[in-house]
Amino acid sequence: MESFEQGAISGNFVRAKHLSLNMDIDTLRDSLFLIAYDNENLIPYRFVNYLLLERETAQLHYLASFLLCMASNHLDGAYQTAFFHATRAAELVPNDISCMEYLLFFYEIPDYLLSKKRANDIAIQILKKDPDNKSALSVLEENYKGHL
């Protein structure tokens, strides 16, 4: 019987999807990450896009972004495409602090995909819901130091 990994790598996404139904999101993320990292290819990212075509969710956009950032960041355009998915995830669940927090990652990477103003706005939104959020406080502190 074909495993999830074999189904995904071979492009048998129907089978891989069927097998993934028994996985929680963390197990799916870890499995796809290992496939992407070990095989140095975009098949896992493509599989997530296949799932997104069927049902767009913030979790799947986050997963697509995570795979690009963590397993395929050496490829041209990976961070930019990951930023698209992270932004879409945050749009789908605008009150989810974890999605807003994840967007701040794109302010910290050298590509500076998230502007300082947008990072500040996101940090302020986060702090309204979680006044002790370290990521948000760090962004505001860093930007404040730049004005001293």
Q: What is the pLDDT of residues 96-110, one digit of tens each?
A: 999 999 999 999 888
Mean pLDDT of 85-106: 97
Quote the pLDDT of residue 29. 96
Q: Looking at the structure, do residues 72 and 15 belong to the same domain, yes or no? A: yes
Domain assignment of residue 105, given as a range: 95-148
Q: Looking at the structure, do residues 78 and 110 belong to the same domain, yes or no? A: no
Residue 146 has pLDDT above 60, yes or no: no
Q: Looking at the structure, do residues 88 and 102 belong to the same domain, yes or no? A: no
Domain count, the chain: 2
Q: Looking at the structure, do residues 89 and 41 belong to the same domain, yes or no? A: yes
CB 8 within 8 A of CB 16: yes
- Domain end position, chosen among 93, 116, 135: 93
Question: Which of these, 72, 60, 2, lies nearest to 34 by C-alpha position?
Answer: 72
Q: Looking at the structure, do residues 24 and 42 belong to the same domain, yes or no? A: yes
Percent of the chain with pLDDT over 70: 97
Q: Looking at the structure, do residues 119 and 83 belong to the same domain, yes or no? A: no
Quote the pLDDT of residue 1. 61
pTM of the entire structure? 0.91
Q: CA angle, corner 35, sides to 41 and 82, nearest 5?
A: 60
The model's confidence at residue 148, banded by pLDDT at 50, 70 and 90, is: very low
Q: Looking at the structure, do residues 86 and 16 belong to the same domain, yes or no? A: yes
Q: CA angle, corner 85, sides to 77 and 90, nearest 5?
A: 145
Q: What is the pLDDT of residues 21-66, one digit of tens each?
A: 999 999 999 999 999 999 889 999 999 999 999 999 999 999 999 9
Q: What is the pLDDT of residues 129-143, one digit of tens each?
A: 999 999 999 999 987
Mean pLDDT of 69-93: 96
Question: Which of these, 74, 5, 11, 2, lies nearest to 46 by C-alpha position?
Answer: 11
Q: Looking at the structure, do residues 57 and 79 belong to the same domain, yes or no? A: yes
- Domain end position, chosen among 77, 93, 109: 93
Q: Looking at the structure, do residues 54 and 41 belong to the same domain, yes or no? A: yes
Quote the pLDDT of residue 2. 76
Q: Looking at the structure, do residues 78 and 134 belong to the same domain, yes or no? A: no
Q: Looking at the structure, do residues 101 and 39 belong to the same domain, yes or no? A: no
Within 13 Å, how many C-alpha atoms sit on residue 73's CB side?
12
Quote the pLDDT of residue 108. 86
Q: Looking at the structure, do residues 148 and 85 belong to the same domain, yes or no? A: no
